[in-house]
Structure 1
Amino acid sequence: MKFLSTPLKDSYIITLDTIQDSRGWFARVYCKDEFKQIGHDKEWVQLNHSFTSAKGAIRGMHFQYPPFREVKMVRCIAGAVYDVIIDLREGSPTFLQHIGVELSAANKLMLYIPEGFAHGFQALTNDCELLYHHSEYYTPGSEGGIKYDDPKINITWPLPVTDISERDNKHAELTENFKGI
């Protein structure tokens, strides 16, 4: 694995070193010792798998409030997505900045998302599947969200939005009073 820093402090794009032969390929997607090199010392306590059927659909932008802030690591294992993270950390030099990266089964990239970030994605193909590692358990009542088209964040989604859940569409836009999490 190689950890490539992004413009948002403490977040990384992770590339996999594959070993290939006539049968296909093999890659390590997690090694506790290698993750220590980027300061990751949390345990992965939950692994989730999502399926998004329609190209253009958006899931997000989700986060959990303290004390349940979580580190996430995501990987697309079928199709392709435009994956977006937003820095919501109070006092961060990149507060309210975001990045987007294409994750796909073909490019095998992973995204490491630190505590205090919102996360979401848009399906670039039909039938997308993502795996999510979480350092905290999902805790009802602690979840939060930012509207996918919030003008303060100004995410440029690559495709027209074809579907979004009622819950995600109802996230409020950020106000001047939002100081971070």
Structure 2
Amino acid sequence: MRVERTDLDGVLLFLPTPSRDARGLFTRTFDATAARAAGLDPDAFVQDSQSRSRKGTIRGLHGRSGRGEAKLVRCARGAVHDVLVDARPSSPTFGKHIAIRLDDERFAQLYVPPGLLHGFQALTEPADVCYRIDREHDPSEDIAVRYDDPDLGIAWPLPVSVISERDSAAGSWAALRHALPR
């Protein structure tokens, strides 16, 4: 498993090498040794979750206040346009965002450190996204920014087909930036 750094501070991309033959394929979806070598504690992850989304659906941009949460994100079925926004005021990449295609061909897995906002758009019908998270969910720490916030200028590849009421009502990047502890 190869590990690549991204343009956002601390965000890593884990790239397995799927074996393909006449039967189909086999790939490793998690490797504790590779995680350790990249500076992560594989034992820190305490929860696995999965979402299924229809093509065009946007989920996010979500994060956690307080000490945040770290997660490993991968697309187990289909493809998504995955977006991360650095919401860590002390980070050299604060306010910047990246987009990475996650799909069931490359099986890349994205490490999202605490303090980032995460969202994605389903590019296929359906798209299953799996999350390995380092702490239990506490709804009182949920934070969100609207997916179409003009200050972020995120280019989503498809028209939005579905978005939750919660995500539609999310606040602005400017308001979150102002509320973040310095």
Aligned to 1:19: 19
> Which 4+ stretches in 1 moved above 6 angstroms?
none
Structure 1 residue 81: Cα displacement: 0.7
Root-mean-square deviation (CA), in Å?
1.6
Query: 1:88 and 1:128 mapped to 2: Cα distance?
Result: 26
Looking at structure 2, the residues matched to 134 and 177 of structure 1 have their Cα atoms a distance apart, in angstroms, of 27
Aligned match of 1:167: 166
TM-score (norm 2): 0.92
Question: Could you tell me whether the CA contact under 8 Å between 1:12 and 1:111 is conserved in 2?
Answer: yes
Counterparts of 1:57 and 1:21 in 2: how far apart (Å)?
A: 33
- The 3-state SS of whatever aligns with 1:177 is helix
Query: Contact conserved, 2:18 with 2:106, CA < 8 A, in 1?
Result: no
Q: CA deviation at 1:31?
A: 2.1
What is aligned with 1:59? 59
The alpha-carbon deviation at position 118 of structure 1 amounts to: 0.7
Residues 1-181 of structure 1: pairs in structure 2 closer than 5 A: 1-41=1-41, 43-53=44-54, 55-67=55-67, 69-175=68-174, 177-179=178-180
Q: How many residues align?
A: 179
* 1:56–1:161 Cα contact (<8 Å) kept: yes
Shift of 1:180: 5.8
Asked whether the equivalents of residues 77 and 105 of structure 1 are also in contact (C-alpha less than 8 Å), the reply is yes
String of CA shifts for 1:68-114, please: whole Å, max 9, x gaps: x1111111111111000111112111001100011111222211111
Residues 168/95 of structure 1: CA separation in 2 closer, same or farther (3 Å cut) = same
CA positional deviation for 1:179: 3.9
Instruction: State which drifts further: 13-22 or 160-169.
Output: 13-22
Helix, strand or coil at the partner of 2:140:
coil
SS at match of 1:163: coil
Q: Kindly indicate whether the alpha-carbon contact (under 8 Å) linking 2:78 and 2:104 is maintained by their aligned counterparts in 1.
A: yes
Verify the 8 A CA contact 1:80 1:104 in the aligned structure 2: yes
Unaligned runs of 5+ in 2: none
**1:115-140 Cα deviation digits (max 9, x unpaired):** 11110100111111111110111112
**What SS is found at the alignment partner of 2:139?**
coil
Report the residue type matching 1:29 in the other structure: T
Q: Which segment is superposed worse, 39-48 or 20-29?
A: 20-29
Distance 1:158 1:131 in 2: 21
CA distance in 2, matches of 1:79, 1:23: 19
Q: Which has the higher helix share?
A: 2
- Cα distance in 2 for residues equivalent to 1:160 and 1:149: 11
Q: Is contact 1:70-1:135 (8 Å) kept?
A: yes
